[in-house]
């Protein structure tokens, strides 16, 4: 099957968002530009890992440049995006592998989210199909430093806005009741 590559260079908007109530939320990445919207489904842990790695990579760019970069140290408040995902939320695919890179020549962060491949075992060495004509679909987004910081900040806030942790075991509290392993299975 021919591969679909959804490419945004740069997007007008690139955000992580959710649909549903805490404990039953679905997490998405959504890129949009010129009336075109691409939405991909991923796990909460993938959103957290991506946001943390984006911040770490940008911190490293700032550190290595000695201050001579366009990457801000923090997300510019005037660029913050708290709007919900654009509707309708129609997922193109479920994300399996993600990759990040800093393109020094244009001072842009490249984020890639590749479709999960059925039957492929999860390993530390994930297969990225690069720019092959056949293979899983791919969302590729190029962001400037400020837009990348804004993405990371929103994504980290989104992950933190879930269910509060149990004060005893740190597992998420369930609105229907929480069986706490540290309280020998008593409901909290």
pLDDT at residue 126, rounded to an integer:
47
Q: Give the separation between CA 31 and CA 151, rounded to whole angstroms.
A: 11
User: ω into residue 70 within 30 of 0, thus cis?
Assistant: no
Predicted TM-score (pTM) of this structure: 0.83
Mean predicted lDDT score pLDDT of the chain: 88
Q: What is the mean pLDDT of residues 79-89?
A: 94
Q: Is it the case that residue 123 has pLDDT exceeding 50? A: no
- Extents of the domains making up the chain: 5-163
DSSP assignment of 90-133, as one string? -EEEEEEEEEEEEETTTTEEEEEEEE--TTPPP-SSPPP-TT-S
Q: Is it the case that residue 28 has pLDDT exceeding 90? A: yes
Architecture of domain 5-163: 2-Layer Sandwich (3.30)
Q: 63 falls in which pLDDT band (50, 70, 90)?
A: very high
Q: 65 falls in which pLDDT band (50, 70, 90)?
A: confident
User: Is 16 within 8 Å of 151 (Cβ atoms)?
Assistant: yes
Main-chain phi, psi angles of 157, to 5 degrees = -65, -40
Alpha carbon of residue 32 to chain centroid = 15
Q: Give the separation between CA 30 and CA 3, rounded to whole angstroms.
A: 19
């Amino acid at each position: 099957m021919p591969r679909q590559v959804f490419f945004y260079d740069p997007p007008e908007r690139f955000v992580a968002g959710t649909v549903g109530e805490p404990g039953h939320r679905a997490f998405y990445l959504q890129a949009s530009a010129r009336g075109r919207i691409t939405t991909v489904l991923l796990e909460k842990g993938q959103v957290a890992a991506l946001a943390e790695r984006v911040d770490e990579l940008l911190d490293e760019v700032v550190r290595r440049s000695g201050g001579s970069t366009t990457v801000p140290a923090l997300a510019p408040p005037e660029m913050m995006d708290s709007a919900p995902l654009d509707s309708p939320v129609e997922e193109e695919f479920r994300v399996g592998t993600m990759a990040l890179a800093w393109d020094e020549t244009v001072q842009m962060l490249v984020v890639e989210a590749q479709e999960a491949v059925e039957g492929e075992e999860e390993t530390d060495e994930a297969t990225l199909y690069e720019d092959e004509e056949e293979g899983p679909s791919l969302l590729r987004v190029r962001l400037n430093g400020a837009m990348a910081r804004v993405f990371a900040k929103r994504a980290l806030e989104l992950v933190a806005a879930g269910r509060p942790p149990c004060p005893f075991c740190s597992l998420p509290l369930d609105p229907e009741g929480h069986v706490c392993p540290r309280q020998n299975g008593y409901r909290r």
